C-alpha cells in the first residue's frame, strides 16, 4: 500500500471503522437494484418495480439528511442503531408483502420506511475529519480512500444483488443488503473511540438551522443533482446500448470499467500533495466530467464505449474527494455529517432524474441518442460550477455556536479557516 495510505491507517481504530464502513455501505449499491430484481422476478411488473425503486431513492433522499442531522446532535451510536432497525424492519416487511402478493399500497408504505437508511459514507468521513482536523494532506488521502470504497461498492454490489436474486431466490438481494447494513452499523457504532463527539445546540438558535443554509453547500448540492443525472443516465443508456449490440450481459462489465477508472484515479489522487484553492480544482473536475461525456456520443461499439467510459471515470473520484473537502470547509463542524449527507441526497435525486429522462429518450429515439442525456447533464453541472465558484471561493464567515464547543486553542482556526488549510 502506498505510504500516504499506510500513514492514515497508522492511527488506532481507523482500520476497524473503515472495514465496518465498507460493509455498511454495500446496501447503497444493492438495495435499489435488489428490490427491482425481486419485484420483476416475482411478478414481471417492470413498471411497479421502477416506481418502488424510485420511491426508495426519494425516501432515502428525504430521510437521510434528517438522520445525519440527528447524528450531529446526539452522536452516531444513539441515532444510527434505531434508524437502521427502522430501515431493516421496513425492508423485511417489503419482502414479506411482495412474497405474499399483498396489495401494491403495502409495498409503497414499506418502501418509505426502508428509506430511513443512514449515510454510512458520511459517518466514516466524519470520523476521518475528526481525526485529521488541521492535517489537510492526511484528510485528503482519507477522503480519496473513501471515494475508492464507494466505487468498490458499486462494482461489487449490483452484480452480487442481481446474481443472488436470479440464481437463489427473488428476495436474496434485499435480504443480503439488510444483513450488510445491520452488521456494518453495529460494528461501526461499537467503535466508540473514533466516534465524533455530538454537538448539542440548545443554547445556539442559529445552530438549529439546517446545514443547507450554507451558500457553498447549496452550490455543491445543486451541482451534484446534475452530476447524479450523469451517473443515472450512463447506467440506463449503457444497458440499452449493450442490448442493441446483442450483448446485454456485457453491460455490467462495461459499467465496472467506468467505476474502475474512478477507483484508479482516486487511488492516485490520494497520493498527490496538492496546492492551490480547492474550489478551483473542483470546477476543473466538474468541467472534466462534462467534457468526458462527448466521446460517448461517438462510440460505435462496446469496446470503444468501454474505453470512453474508463476515461470518463477518471474525473469522478478526484471531483468527489474535492467536494468533501469543500463541505468540510463550508459547513460548521457541528453540522458536518448532515452537510456530507446533503451531497449524497443531491446525487440520489439526480440519479433518479437521469434514469427517468434517459429511459424515456432511449424508448423514443434509441440508445445512440440516449447519451445526449448525460451530455446535457454534464453541461448543466459545469454551468452551476462556474456560476457558484465565487460562493465556494469566498472566505467562510464565523460559524455560530462553534466557539463554545471547541478547544480554546482550536476555536479561532475552525471559526475562520484559511482556504489553504483545506484540500
190 and 318 within one domain: no
Mean pLDDT of the chain: 82
Rounded CA-CA distance 129/123 in Å is 10
Residue-wise pLDDT tens digits, 203-247: 444 555 777 778 888 899 999 999 988 988 887 788 788 878 887
CB-count exposure of residue 349 (10 Å: 0-12, 13-18, 19+): buried
**Boundary-marking domain end, from 199, 227, 251:** 199
What mean pLDDT comes out for the span 277-287? Answer: 89
Number of domains in the chain: 2
CA atoms within 13 A on the CB side of 208: 5
Rounded CA-CA distance 105/420 in Å is 52
State the helix-helix crossing angle for 336-365 and 316-330, rounded to 10 degrees: 140
pTM over 0.85: no
**Boundary-marking domain end, from 165, 199, 233:** 199
CATH number at residue 384: 1.20.1250.20
Which of the pair, 91 or 401, is modelled with greater confidence? Answer: 91
Q: CB–CB of 111/52 below 8 Å?
A: yes
Rounded CA-CA distance 303/154 in Å is 21
123 and 157 within one domain: yes
Q: Which three cell numbers stand for residue 295?
A: 466521446
181 and 267 within one domain: no
77 assigned to some structural domain = yes
Rounded CA-CA distance 166/385 in Å is 42
Which of the pair, 414 or 89, is modelled with greater confidence? Answer: 89
**Boundary-marking domain end, from 169, 199, 229:** 199
113 assigned to some structural domain = yes
Q: How many CB atoms lie within 10 A of CB 288?
A: 18
290 and 387 within one domain: yes
DSSP assignment letter at 12: T
Confidence of residue 295 (pLDDT cuts 50, 70, 90): very high
401 assigned to some structural domain = no
108 and 232 within one domain: no
**What's the pLDDT score for residue 46?**
67
What mean pLDDT comes out for the span 302-308? Answer: 90
**What's the pLDDT score for residue 418?**
37
230 and 94 within one domain: no
255 and 189 within one domain: no
**What's the pLDDT score for residue 234?**
85
Q: What are phi and psi of 407, to 5 degrees?
A: -65, 145
158 and 9 within one domain: yes
265 and 190 within one domain: no
- Which residues span the domain enclosing 299? 210-395+418-423
Which of the pair, 54 or 313, is modelled with greater confidence? Answer: 313
Burial 168-196 (b: 16+ CB within 10 A, else e): eebbbbbbbbbebbbebbbbbbebeebbb
Residue-wise pLDDT tens digits, 367-380: 888 899 999 999 99
157 and 55 within one domain: yes
The residue behind cell 473520484 is 317
Q: Which three cell numbers stand for residue 225?
A: 443533482
406 assigned to some structural domain = no
The residue behind cell 462494482 is 155
113 and 252 within one domain: no
272 and 157 within one domain: no
Q: CB–CB of 341/65 below 8 Å?
A: yes
Give 267-283 as a DSSP string.
HHHTT----S-HHHHHH
Q: How many CB atoms lie within 10 A of CB 10?
A: 10
Rounded CA-CA distance 417/415 in Å is 6
Cα separations (Å) of 136 from 187, 199, 379, 392? Answer: 27, 22, 31, 17
Amino acid at each position: 500500500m502506498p505510504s500516504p495510505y499506510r500513514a492514515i491507517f497508522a492511527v488506532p481504530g481507523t482500520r476497524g471503522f473503515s472495514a465496518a464502513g465498507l460493509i455498511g455501505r454495500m446496501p447503497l449499491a444493492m438495495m435499489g437494484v435488489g428490490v427491482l430484481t425481486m419485484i420483476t422476478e416475482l411478478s414481471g411488473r417492470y413498471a411497479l418495480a421502477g416506481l418502488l425503486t424510485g420511491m426508495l431513492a426519494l425516501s432515502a433522499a428525504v430521510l437521510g439528511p434528517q438522520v445525519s442531522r440527528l447524528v450531529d446532535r446526539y452522536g452516531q451510536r444513539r441515532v444510527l442503531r434505531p434508524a437502521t432497525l427502522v430501515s431493516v424492519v421496513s425492508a423485511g416487511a417489503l419482502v414479506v408483502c411482495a412474497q405474499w402478493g399483498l396489495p401494491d399500497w403495502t409495498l409503497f408504505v414499506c418502501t418509505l420506511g426502508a428509506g430511513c437508511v443512514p449515510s454510512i459514507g458520511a459517518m466514516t468521513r466524519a470520523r476521518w475529519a475528526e481525526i485529521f482536523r488541521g492535517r489537510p494532506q492526511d484528510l485528503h488521502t482519507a477522503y480519496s480512500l473513501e471515494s475508492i470504497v464507494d466505487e468498490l461498492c458499486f462494482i461489487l454490489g449490483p452484480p452480487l444483488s442481481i446474481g443472488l436474486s436470479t440464481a437463489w431466490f427473488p428476495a436474496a438481494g434485499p435480504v443480503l443488503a439488510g444483513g450488510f447494513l445491520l452488521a456494518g452499523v453495529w460494528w461501526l457504532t461499537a467503535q466508540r473511540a473514533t466516534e465524533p463527539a455530538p454537538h448539542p445546540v440548545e443554547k445556539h438558535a442559529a445552530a438549529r438551522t439546517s446545514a443547507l443554509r450554507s451558500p457553498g453547500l447549496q452550490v455543491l448540492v445543486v451541482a451534484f443533482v446534475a452530476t447524479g443525472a450523469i451517473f443515472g443516465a450512463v447506467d440506463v443508456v449503457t444497458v440499452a446500448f449493450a442490448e442493441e449490440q446483442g450483448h446485454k450481459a456485457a453491460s455490467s462489465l462495461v459499467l465496472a470499467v467506468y467505476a474502475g477508472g474512478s477507483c484508479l484515479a482516486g487511488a492516485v489522487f490520494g497520493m498527490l500533495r496538492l496546492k492551490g484553492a480547492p474550489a478551483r480544482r473542483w470546477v476543473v473536475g466538474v468541467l472534466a466530467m462534462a467534457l468526458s461525456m462527448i466521446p460517448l456520443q461517438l462510440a460505435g461499439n462496446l469496446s470503444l464505449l468501454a474505453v470512453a467510459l474508463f476515461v470518463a471515470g477518471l474525473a469522478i473520484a478526484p471531483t468527489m474527494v474535492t467536494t468533501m473537502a469543500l463541505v468540510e470547509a463550508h459547513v460548521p463542524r457541528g453540522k458536518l455529517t448532515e452537510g456530507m449527507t446533503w451531497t449524497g441526497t443531491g446525487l440520489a435525486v439526480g440519479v433518479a432524474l437521469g434514469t427517468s429522462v434517459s429511459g424515456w429518450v432511449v424508448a423514443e429515439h434509441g440508445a445512440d441518442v440516449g447519451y445526449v442525456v448525460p451530455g446535457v447533464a454534464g453541461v448543466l453541472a459545469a454551468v452551476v460550477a462556474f456560476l457558484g465558484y465565487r460562493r465556494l471561493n469566498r472566505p467562510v464567515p464565523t460559524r455560530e455556536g462553534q466557539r463554545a464547543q471547541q478547544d480554546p486553542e482550536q476555536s479561532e482556526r475552525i471559526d475562520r479557516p484559511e482556504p489553504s488549510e483545506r484540500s
